[in-house]
A = this chain, B = another copy of it.
């Protein structure tokens, strides 16, 4: 940092070079940990870096090296933490390879043009992980690998798909509830393809079992409010039910509160199962039985897949990887009384 007219200006590689009495190239070598630098000069450079509080410009580095070692991840919104295990899984793999992960939600400046993917591509990420329903994202002619996590279908041509087996998920939920003696099991659904898959499975399985089908909230958002409103509808319908299968954990949380409002307790009066094993489900106060969508594993696999694309032969065929979900039994389900 040099002082010019009382204003701090960021130090550049040239400032460091001058301070250390070497060339900019030598500084660059030290920066990148090249072993062919003499200890004396290395030390001098490091001292200069510290003294000037020099931090290399990523923009310049990226531009010059044509590598950013950065992977972009798009999520719907930060508040819906369903992505958190996926992120952990991604980082587990990418940390080892010195890749950075750039997380961004769908929020975009209304004045500006592009969407989240545009922003990421503009920043030269080397690949994108999409943990959103990718329908309205501009992925046209994307020139970097894209991995869609969670959704079974994708508009991203050539993208790999990694998702958890929703049919199986619905199956183990319903098996669990049926084993507990429940016959009147309602389903809380929501907008979007993922909720749709879970709903389809519910309908099929209930039909096979010859049990009544009750689906609510199909046109709601898949969040707490949606779950709350759907449950209100369910209650208003007057149909008998002793268990609820919610398409995700946030919907389940909404359901619990709607039930509480009419004096129904969980699992005393109604058993509830969610889906995703989001942090909210783990909460000490909630203890929600849920389907673990194996987010961690989804993240790991996504990372491995990306690495294959980046390092391996460029022209891999798009792959689909299906992960088996598993049931996490907590406190929100109980035997039918």
Contact = CB atoms under 8 A, between A and B. Distances in A.
Interface in A114-145: 114, 118-119, 121-124, 140-141, 143
Contacts of A287: 257
- Range of interface residues on A (Cβ < 8 Å): 35 or more
Given A63-B63, A78-B84, A283 B284 contact: no
A81 B105 CA distance: 14
A314 B8 CA distance: 10
Copies per assembly:
2
A280 B285 CA distance: 11
Given A63-B59, A78-B78, A284-B224, A111 B98 contact: yes
A131 to B, nearest CB: 13
Given A280-B280, A285-B285, 17 more contacts: A1-B143, A59-B123, A59-B124, A78-B84, A78-B87, A78-B103, A79-B81, A79-B279, A95-B109, A95-B111, A96-B111, A98-B112, A228-B284, A257-B284, A258-B284, A260-B284, A286-B286
12 contacts: A7-B314, A8-B141, A8-B143, A57-B63, A58-B124, A81-B81, A96-B111, A98-B109, A98-B112, A224-B284, A253-B283, A260-B284
